[in-house]
Structure 1
């Protein structure tokens, strides 16, 4: 890291000042943790907290640092990553984003699932099945190339903020025909458990037995930032903890 250059131009752009604060955290931490870098990480407030905490704990132990976690709406996760304030968990690559961000290797592979109301036409098992429907999803999350291209062309896509319970209430109230959710493995029984834990009866919903699309999950950092310098170490941590991450996925978030 170019410590001698970070403080220069502090009167410059806001993201540069925030990035300087981030590098200060990485270079100096007080007390008993003086030799352990503190690394800021932004997580969506809709992400399952126990799963996220266990996953980040594995990565921190392998990388030799500790996290300073911010739980915020996904739109804020993206802004923090773009500003160099924090790593952005779950920010996927796109042509526009790759000009500004660098991305880790996939931490794991998730899936995009379609949830509808039981009174509808039954479970949707393909992207083509979304045609002509009003679809809700967390935005501005990327849902994979096929879904992103179909949004606006084949179906209406509406923002669904908040946790899974909040989004399911939007579906139940008829504000959308289909809710797209990401789930951390290919076990539908574990997705049904998440729905129950959110306070909903899966029998009142139409949920497919498989995901519409597989979705790799990445961690992003601003190009040229202090955090971007840590991406190689983050990739080594991901590779080192693949077995542990696999166990977490099988256990179900």
Structure 2
């Protein structure tokens, strides 16, 4: 799965939601999950070569030619993070015209958004370092960047991100005012899956699918991502 890096280039720990999800799947599907985290492009490369499952991947026409996909695990909302002092209206992709938007290489934000990259708006390609993206945004090297977040409490996510990534700036330390804001209208909502190379035996995905279907019926998956 993809790594996220902090302000000292350290790999950040998994969120509570993802840890709860993996615990649920291990217990329900009776499997053991061994987590390996890499830059996203390497995740895709390793998965295509049959080196295990990919977690947190979206379906695209190209990927359907390469991977088996599980049932949807959760719906990732793709948000725009911007400087609070420089707000802009966003209701549709057309509102991004002539803006510079930070995107992680190899990622997708839905067919409509992907089709307009470097057409309606300019892409600023980023690495897996979330701290690096916040730094670029603070320096006004881009107008906003994409944040993939399944949690439903957007206000809490924004507060958490400012505590983590604005704390190094005097402006935040002195005024205690949030520097980074999340636009309340998502760019897109995309289902995230587990995936496995088409060349591999998909029996492990079948076990995971049964667990996911059970978790949706019981409401457990919804509870996990509401926390």
CA distance in 2, matches of 1:206, 1:193: 9
TM-score by length of 2: 0.83
Look up the match of 2:120: 154
TM-score by length of 1: 0.75
CA distance in 2, matches of 1:198, 1:125: 28
Confirm whether residue 105 of structure 1 aligns to residue 67 of structure 2. Answer: no
Select the structure that is richer in helix: 1
Structure of higher RCO (CA pairs closer than 8 Å, 6+ residues apart):
2
Look up the match of 1:235: 209
Q: Structure 1 unaligned runs (5+)?
A: 1-42
- Please say which of residues 64-73 and 233-242 is displaced more in the overlay: 233-242
CA distance in 2, matches of 1:118, 1:65: 44
Look up the match of 2:179: 204
CA distance in 2, matches of 1:146, 1:99: 20
Q: Structure 2 unaligned runs (5+)?
A: 5-11, 167-171
The correspondence of residues 211-222 of structure 1 with structure 2, limited to 5 A, is 211-222=186-197
Secondary structure of the structure 2 residue equivalent to 1:69: coil
Q: CA deviation at 1:154?
A: 0.9
Look up the match of 1:193: 159
Q: CA deviation at 1:85?
A: 0.2
Look up the match of 2:2: 44
1:158 to 1:147, Cα distance in 2 relative to 1, 3 A: same
- Please say which of residues 193-202 and 51-60 is displaced more in the overlay: 193-202
The correspondence of residues 96-175 of structure 1 with structure 2, limited to 5 A, is 96-122=62-88, 124-175=90-141
- Counterpart selection for 1:184 from 124, 144, 150: 150
How many residues matched? 208
